[in-house]
Amino acid sequence: MQRTILLALAALGCADVAPRVAPAATAEILATIGDSTTIIESVTLYGGKLYTTDWTGRIWEIDPAAPTPKQVGSLPLKEPCGILGEVADSAGNLLITCADDGTVWRVARERLGAADFDPAKDATRFITGAGHANGIAIGADGHVWVSGGDIDTLYHAGPSGGKAIPFAGGFSPLSPDTTIGPRVYVMNGTAVDSKGNVYTMNTGTGTIWRLEVKPGYEVGAITKVAESPELIGADGVVVGAGDTLFATQNFRNTLSRISPSGEITVLVPAGPALRFPAELVKDGNIVYIANLNFPYGANAATHRPGATVVKVTLP
């Protein structure tokens, strides 16, 4: 597999001060998906409704105002797949990553919830060749970015999809700490800021990277924004106002805010609502989080089977 190796690496802006704890945010279970065997990791938002896809390929819609999940579609999977990321484009079409075969599926907005929904016709392969496709984000120009999870490569594709193109790799080393179960995810989560920079994270080292995108979609400077024990388990990441980042830490059962300069603030410490939290989406002062709910790290002692979506209200 071809990879673009690190062109420029800057260790500037890395936080070296103790993380702060913000005024209390409230975290509560909004909805339970499926039954005790159901697994989810992805969540997105469009038109005031949440969408998540479980690992058997069922697509669920949740109205936060009346949060009883309803199935609105499915993917044509022959067997369960690691559905690790999901995003809605500007028209509400869902782009859903399948790690097992490196595919990004596309489901048209107008077909969601249709009585005659047909997975074989209504779910199409939008991007292929994105090895172990994990987090997914769409830039302001419609360009699509996909992280490689346990393959240290960030991929991209144009607004029309197609074959994934390796963008950068080789800069996010594997943590030597073998006690961290998800440490192999050296390229976890994906987000794009207002300047078109792309972010991804190393789960095992608790590192957040910012990648400059130069004209022609060439890689520029690769900067370590933050690295901290408080970020161990870094999984999902989104960009908020002022290019502030919000990220989950699955291994620690926490949610944190990271400033552009790398200052870390713990927004939700480990508690009963966060259960190995994964992908997230932000809507004003509300953050919705998909609980992957694996029995590792801080979630091991209190693990309860089942898939849930959490609502966090920020102060």
- State the pLDDT at residue 6: 35
CB-CB neighbours of 11 under 10 Å: 9
Give the pLDDT of residue 88.
Answer: 98
Average pLDDT over residues 159-178: 97
| Mean predicted lDDT score pLDDT of the chain | 93
**Nearest Cα residue to 246 out of 288, 212, 274, 275:** 288
Helices (H), 84-152: 119-122
Residue (of 36, 27, 117) closest to 72 by Cα position: 117
What separation in angstroms does the CA of 75 have from each of 78, 80, 138, 142, 278?
9, 10, 21, 23, 21
Give the pLDDT band (50/70/90) at residue 18: low
Type of residue at 229: P
pLDDT recorded at residue 15:
44
Proportion of the chain above pLDDT 90, given as a percent: 91
Read off the pLDDT band of 2 (50, 70, 90): very low
Angle subtended at Cα 52 by Cα 236 and Cα 194, rounded to the nearest 5 degrees: 45
Phi, psi of 183 (to 5 degrees): -65, -20
Tens of pLDDT along 144-162?
A: 999 999 999 999 999 999 9
Residue 217 sits at φ, ψ, to 5 deg, of 60, 45
pLDDT digits (tens, 9 = 90+) for 239-260: 999 999 999 999 999 999 999 9
What is the model's pLDDT at position 24? 73
Query: In this predicted model, which residue has the larger pLDDT, 10 or 96?
Result: 96
The domain locations on the chain are 8-313
pLDDT, position 22: 60
pLDDT at 305: 92
Q: What totals of helices (H) and strands (E) does the chain contain, helices first?
A: 1, 26
pLDDT value for 315: 87
User: What is residue 298's three-state secondary structure?
Assistant: helix
User: Nearest-CA neighbor of 232 among 210, 264, 206?
Assistant: 206
* Superfamily grouping for domain 8-313: TolB, C-terminal domain (2.120.10.30)
Q: What is the pLDDT of residues 180-193, one digit of tens each?
A: 999 999 999 999 99
pLDDT at 4 exceeding the cut of 60: no
Percent of the chain predicted with pLDDT > 70: 93
pLDDT of residue 16: 46
φ, ψ for residue 272 (rounded to 5)? -70, -20
**How do 58-63 and 49-53 pair as beta strands?**
antiparallel
Q: What is the pLDDT of residues 30-89, one digit of tens each?
A: 999 999 999 999 999 999 999 999 999 999 999 999 999 999 999 999 999 999 999 999
* pLDDT over 80 (residue 295): yes
